[in-house]
Structure 1
């Protein structure tokens, strides 16, 4: 590889053979560096490090076994002394007495993995040909208050059972990288190797991922390579990378998030972040990386940043070469052309779908025809013909507007509805649109599957679990829409027509803006073809004629058509009417006649001969 795996040589490397630990730190412009070994919160030993010919400070000692806490005391370029955490810490912990975060010596061989079958299958399989139903969570608040977060191990079996029940094939976790404050989202990063101390240490996270894999659930890391936390909270102590040796090793300019942008013209920036990504794949077995804020990383002030683009191309290519089966996913919000091909990403978030679908949900039914082309037809065509392969997402950002505002939660997006029954029907239709529409997968954020009335961050800010578990599996409309999403996910997984060829399997059957009805096919598998019909109006039809396209070569092959899903079922909170026990095809007039409930989606299975 063109970049070293820094985590193999830097940080605290414990040697089993001689029971010693080698500390290695890059601080080329520091005057002196010491390792401070800590016991009961305070200094136990102060060991002077020696600078070698590669500008690395080193020391080997038998006084730092696994579990030993430590900091570096750096006499920097300007003559200032400051205690710092190790920038390549594999675990960190909080010290309440000194109000410090401290690095921990970690034994990489202590945890024994049991996910060999998963890792072998992953390396032999193209992930773009498999179902991708993603559940996005913040581990520190999914089941508990951020002020009393659960350990990764404590979360493990609840998360496994929930994903299996709900039909999520993958978990995407944000707030994983070490960050400073409990109530933060987790995007102001202070360490690019240690998992967040709020949920435990390195081996605790391994335990969670290992058991998810043993239950055939993939894990995606939400990674933040664009900017980092630069504030120093105390005069003589800091957790930040900034001015680590008294000079600017990593930073560029201030970002829009009160952090600093990484400077990718600096070799040490590229080396550190390259190693961070590979570390989470190598040592923690993540199955994908979602790259946060790619738009701001590669282009700012209407100017491309070539060094950042080169970094992404090289990193993604390295991942594809050495970690087959791992997905590289871009969160790119500015519409950079062909970002997958240009930067070697596999997938990107479909911001066009997300924005248009939520805006369409906000639009009163009487006004939707005027937005039909832009928010429905153009979105479908973009998904089908775009150079980029995309995921339809409803993410943590989409429903969040701060600690005191819930206007963006999905429930309020449908506030124009005449009553709760119509509101939840519209929301069930929204999720059916997300899961059935042409894409390479979909992502749903915690709490949105029960369309909770308060945003996740408001609940988090108030010291509650981000997800309102009192609504889950209940007989309320919230619990019923959760059941609808559960069954939609399992329908999606069972029928490979939705995911084997992604958007390439899409073909339009019928659309009629005045009635707000659209129908499309999602491909053929083993002589079965899936058809999806959405009715975005509040008018239902006992008998609705879908005009079939004359260009369809498979019309004559249709032997039988069966309804296999209907969002209007009683168990989902619907009326239970407009069921299709029998579906007629008029080959002379090229029409398919169905019962079509209001604000609903039906899915049909066509048997071909």
Structure 2
């Protein structure tokens, strides 16, 4: 006799929505949920396995016996197996034992909707109640829509939780410890947002979290689900938004994961030309299957709803959009119109963005997309994909290539530093210097800079000054803010001892001041995605490797003039055109002695002259220090 009682959380309406791919709260139904049936407390289980001929729940409560607790298949052809097991409690371990019609294949799987997992390398799911946390971020949630708007400052600190800081025994900090140390550090350094590389449960540390097996479970490496909520809560209480990396593009083929789940290609596309990723040796979701679409969008909603996440940064969007991504001729097939776009993935992305923006006020979605695919951040109703922002990979590539060059050669590559403005307003761009740029022999950001030590740090400040005054939002990977020398290593802490040395202290202080300057000058963010927020003064002085431009906000009184000198030669008596009459007052200078610079400044206010220059009616003669970004205001 079965020890499983008939019971269901699903209504007929739920089933119809699930089959149609429109049920976006599936985590309320699938998985393991505490319940009470006929006066008995226990746990209700539900799992989707349409190719199974039998499914059992095994766990530490039945000594992993696959015959004691068989689930019942629903009569409605939904492929859902479910049942209530009395006496089970929170904290018990479980998996699904799935017997397939497909050649009698037997698989043992973790719960796709499990809220908590064993700590790797163990792989079982854990019965867990995630509704036992009392949030204290009501204030943030009430004004998040304003703080998180696209006309507000975004200075993002990208973090890998396992390697940001480690203890003396090289063990990573817990969520609770991070809620103290990381939150205080981000606040002190002045970033507006933190972006966390994937926290969903993953089996393989070298994947950095991008190969996910537990989509609904924060990794148990650092603590329990409520402790991750505590971390997010503490960020919010300190006015810091939380961006979460989300990976709907692919998943690993680990035995306990989603791959070949019920003995069939359930979550992955059955055609390897669409279902296998050659770069990452992983499986690709079947975006044409309604139930898979509902699984993924439910997962996005879950993190926004249950964990109060403020933005989702969607990983590897280009790999989703193109059928020929990383494939040679003959390894892919065109879509029904003869094109290379994955129309099912495009449709899925639009549904995802529609649901997110319609259900959650003040959130944003950010696409990591590296191609020229059009209208990534345009509204869906005019043919766009509906993202809030997109990473500006072209800017990142061109800028790092330019800065790597010795200053004497930069005049021959002037276009590399100006080209981004030719397309800067085609999308809502975020300027990223991310984790991908400090691994695999690419060197750290500081390590790319040419010259002696003084020049390297001056170049670094120049880069950041240029970045923070360039249109678009900003992202820095951890360690870049104090001049990490070494490449990032996921298995060890950042080199915090560098802050014992003055050049690194100066760099850290520079970033603090730069963040504060960015946040307090609306001209740098109010029109970050509009041509109205930027005007060139000079983009063609390649001979001197100097560029200058105007940044504008809603109020013309807040206009800023920016000049960048990409050589170690002082540009004294350098004339620039200005767009109105007045006096130029230097507000920010990356060459300040405070930051370890040479201390060359424009000490006195500079009166404009009625001499036309750079196609402007007025002009002024300024000093631009070596390897420096200087910002002025006209009063």
Alignment of 1:24-423 (within 5 A): 24-38=46-60, 46-53=68-75, 54-77=78-101, 78-94=103-119, 100-123=122-145, 127-144=149-166, 148-232=171-255, 238=256, 240-252=257-269, 253-255=275-277, 256-301=279-324, 303-341=340-378, 342-373=384-415, 375-383=416-424, 385-386=425-426, 388-401=427-440, 405=441, 407-415=442-450, 417=451, 419-423=452-456
Give the structure 2 partner of residue 534 of structure 1.
Answer: 564
Match of 2:478 in 1: 446
Further displaced range: 335-344 or 352-361: 335-344
Q: Identify the residue that residue 609 of structure 2 maps to in structure 1.
A: 586
Aligned counterparts of 1:179 and 1:298: Cα–Cα separation in 2: 24
Instruction: Tell me the SS of whatever aligns to 1:199.
Output: coil
| 2:13 is equivalent to residue 15 of structure 1 | no
> Secondary structure of the residue that 1:127 maps to in structure 2?
coil
Q: Per the alignment, in what secondary structure is the counterpart of residue 449 of structure 1? A: coil
Q: Corresponding residue for 2:457? A: 424
Aligned-pair CA distance for 1:43: 6.5
SS in 2 for 1:189: coil
Determine the C-alpha separation between the residues in 2 that align with 1:520 and 1:597: 16
Note the aligned Cα RMSD (angstroms). 2.1
Q: Secondary structure at the match of 1:435?
A: helix
**1-side partners of 2:396 and 2:623: how far apart?**
29
Q: How far is the alpha carbon of 1:37 from its aligned partner?
A: 3.0
Aligned with 1:72: secondary structure?
strand
Question: Structure 1, residues 116-138: CA drift from partner, whole Å, max 9, x if none?
Answer: 11112124666101110100001
The answer to whether the Cα contact below 8 Å between 2:524 and 2:552 also exists between their aligned partners in 1 is yes
Deviation at 1:16, TM superposition (A): 7.4
Distance in 2, matches of 1:365 and 1:454, equals: 23
CA separation in 2, counterparts of 1:94 and 1:231? 15
Equivalent position to 2:628, from 576, 600, 607: 600
> Shift in Å at residue 51 of structure 1?
1.0
Q: CA deviation at 1:568?
A: 0.7
Q: What's the offset of the Cα at 1:21?
A: 1.9
TM-score by length of 1: 0.90
User: Aligned in 2, Cα 1:122/1:16: closer, same or farther, shift over 3 Å?
Assistant: farther
Q: Is the 8 A contact 1:182 1:198 kept in 2?
A: no
1:543 offset after TM fit, Å?
Answer: 2.6
Q: 1:160 Cα deviation (Å)?
A: 1.3
User: Any idea what SS the aligned residue of 1:489 has?
Assistant: helix
Could you tell me which of 479, 495, 502 is aligned with 1:468? Answer: 495
Of the structure 1 ranges 573-582 and 481-490, higher mean CA displacement relative to structure 2 is found in 573-582
**Matched residues in 1 for 2:204 and 2:514: separation?**
37
Cα offsets for 1:60-114 (capped at 9, x unmatched): 123222222211122223323332110111111137xxx5311111213211111
Distance 1:125 1:570 in 2: 33
Specify the alignment match of 1:433 in structure 2: 466
Task: Name the CA distance, whole Å, in 1 between partners of 2:65 and 2:158.
Answer: 40
| C-alpha contact (below 8 Å) 1:524/1:530 kept by paired residues | no
- Where structure 2 has 5 or more consecutive residues not aligned to the other structure, the ranges are 1-16, 270-274, 325-338, 379-383, 613-617
Moved over 6 A (4+): 40-45
1:235 aligned partner? none
Find the partner of 2:547 among 513, 518, 540: 518
After superposition, the Cα gap between the structure-2 partners of 1:529 and 1:116, relative to the gap in structure 1 and judged at 3 Å, is: same
Unaligned runs of 5+ in 1: 233-237
| Superposition pairs of residues 503-582 of structure 1, within 5 angstroms | 503-504=529-530, 505-511=533-539, 512-524=541-553, 526=555, 527-548=557-578, 552=579, 555-556=580-581, 558=582, 560-582=583-605
CA contact (8 A) 1:147 1:182 kept: no
CA distance in 2, matches of 1:392, 1:61: 51
SS of corresponding position for 2:543: helix
Distance 1:365 1:572 in 2: 21
Could you tell me how far apart the structure 1 residues matched to 2:59 and 2:391 are? 44
Does structure 2 conserve the Cα–Cα contact (< 8 Å) formed by 1:37 and 1:64? no
Give the counterpart of 2:505 among 459, 475, 479: 479
1:466-496 C-alpha deviation (Å, 9 max, x unpaired): x211123x34312211211111111000111
For residue 3 of structure 1, give the secondary structure of its aligned residue in structure 2: coil
Question: d(CA) in 1 for partners of 2:290 and 2:264?
Answer: 14
Separation (CA, whole Å) in 1 of partners of 2:610 and 2:91: 74
> Residue deviations 1:16-37, cap 9 Å, x none?
7964321111111112111123
Mapped partners of 1:485, 1:357: distance in 2: 19
- Structure with the larger strand share: 1
Contact 1:133–1:442 under 8 Å retained in 2: yes
Q: TM-score, normalised by structure 2?
A: 0.87
How many Å apart are 1:376 and its aligned residue?
2.3
Contact 2:201–2:219 (CA under 8 A) maintained in structure 1: yes
CA distance in 1, matches of 2:601, 2:343: 56
Deviation for aligned residue 1:40: 12
Aligned length: 575
Per the alignment, do residues 201 and 46 of structure 1 end up closer, same or farther by CA in structure 2, a change over 3 Å counting? farther
